[in-house]
Amino acid sequence: MKLTDIPRISLGFLPTPLEDLKRIGAELGIELTLKRDDFTGFGGGGNKVRKLEYLMADALDRGAKVLITTGGHQSNHARMTAAAARKFGMKPVLVLRGNRPDVMQGNLLLDHLLGAEIDFLDPDAYFAEINPRMQQHADAASARGETPYVIPLGGASALGAMGYVAAVKELSEQYGEAGRPAPEFIVAPVGSGGTLAGLLIGCAMFWPRTKVIGIAVSASAVPFSERIAAMADAGAELLGFDARFDPADVAIETGYVGEAYAVPSAEGNAAIGRLARSEGLFLDPVYTGKAMAGLIDCVERGRIAPGRRVLFVHCGGSPALFPHAELLTRDRAD
C-alpha cells in the first residue's frame, strides 16, 4: 500500500515552513534548521495534528461519536484531539495524568473551552489505571448507543506514525525545491514515540542517509528503542515497505528528562530562554525545551560534530509555558 492510499483527512496548515536558526547555529558551530510544526495551526497547532489526520479518518470511517484519549496535564495531543472531536461533531473525553488543579491554565484551559470531559487520574496510579479507565469510558459510550474511538497516548500507533512519514516526504520536497542537501541529522522530542517511528520510516523511504535522534522527555517502562522499533516495523508493514528496524539502531538520548515528564528542568528552561533571546523563538518546558537542551549538549560533547546539517522538529506546545510563569521568570530581577 502506498502512503497516498491510506485514508487521511486534511486538518493541518501544510506544508509547515522551514526556518534557519543562524544565530544559535553559529554559536553551536552547526547548520541548524527548524521544521515549524508548531505552525500546523489546527486546534492551536503542534505535531499531533499530523497523526490526527490519519486517526480521525479512521474514526470517521468507523462512525465514532465519542473520542477518547489520554496524556499529561499539559498534553498537546489531548488538546488537539479534543479540537478534532468538536470539528467532526464528536464528544471529547480526556483521561489526564495528574490531580485536578485549582486553576485551569495552559492546555487545560483550552481543553475546558473545547468542552472536553476531563477525568483526572492520580499520577502515581496513572500507568496502572489508564487503559482500564479509557475502556470504562468506551463501554459507557457504547451503553448509550454511541460508538467510541480510543486513541492511544500521543496518538502513538502504526497508523498515527503515518503523519511523520508524510512529514519527511514533505521535507524532502521542500529541500529539493530549495536546492538544499538533506540534513545529516533530524532531532525531535520523544514522549510516546509515534513521531520518531514515523521519522524513521520516512527517512528510510525518502532520506536514507539522514540519521534520526530522539531526545527523551519522559521515562518509560518499556525501553524507547524497543517500543519505537516495533511501531516503525508495524508502520512499514502497513505501507508494504520492505524495511525492518532494529532497536539497537534507534538512537535515543535519555539524559534530559529532569525530575519527571512535564516537570520543567533547569537545562530545558535555560534552552527556552536562550532560544527566545537569540532567535525570538518560543519553546515549551514539557517537550521542545528539554529536546533543545539535549541537542545543544549533543553538539557540545561531540555526539553531533561541528559543521553538521541538523534539522530540529518544533512540535509546538507554547500553551504549556503559561502554567510555569513563576518558575520561568525567577531569573529576572526586574
Query: What per-residue confidence (pLDDT) applies to 222?
Result: 60
Looking at residue 261, its pLDDT comes to 86
Please report, for the chain, the start and end positions of each structural domain, with discontinuous segments joined by +. Answer: 3-46+156-328, 48-155
Class of domain 48-155: alpha beta
Architecture of domain 3-46+156-328: 3-Layer(aba) Sandwich (3.40)
pLDDT at 13: 97
pLDDT at residue 278, as a whole number: 96
| pLDDT beneath 50: ranges in the chain | 333-334
pLDDT at site 334:
45
Q: How far apart, in whole angstroms, are the C-alpha atoms of residue 16 and residue 36? A: 6
Q: What's the pLDDT score for residue 221? A: 56
| pLDDT given for residue 266 in this prediction | 95
- The pLDDT score that the predictor gives to residue 325 is 86
Specify the pTM.
Answer: 0.96
Whole-number Å distance between alpha carbons of 75 and 59: 20
pLDDT at 232: 98
Q: Does residue 313 sit in helix, strand or coil? A: strand
* Helices marked H in 88-222: 107-113, 126-143, 158-178, 194-206
What residues are annotated to the active site? 75
Give the cell for residue 181.
Answer: 542537501
- Tell me whether domains 3-46+156-328 and 48-155 share a fold: yes
Q: What is the pLDDT of residue 331?
A: 67
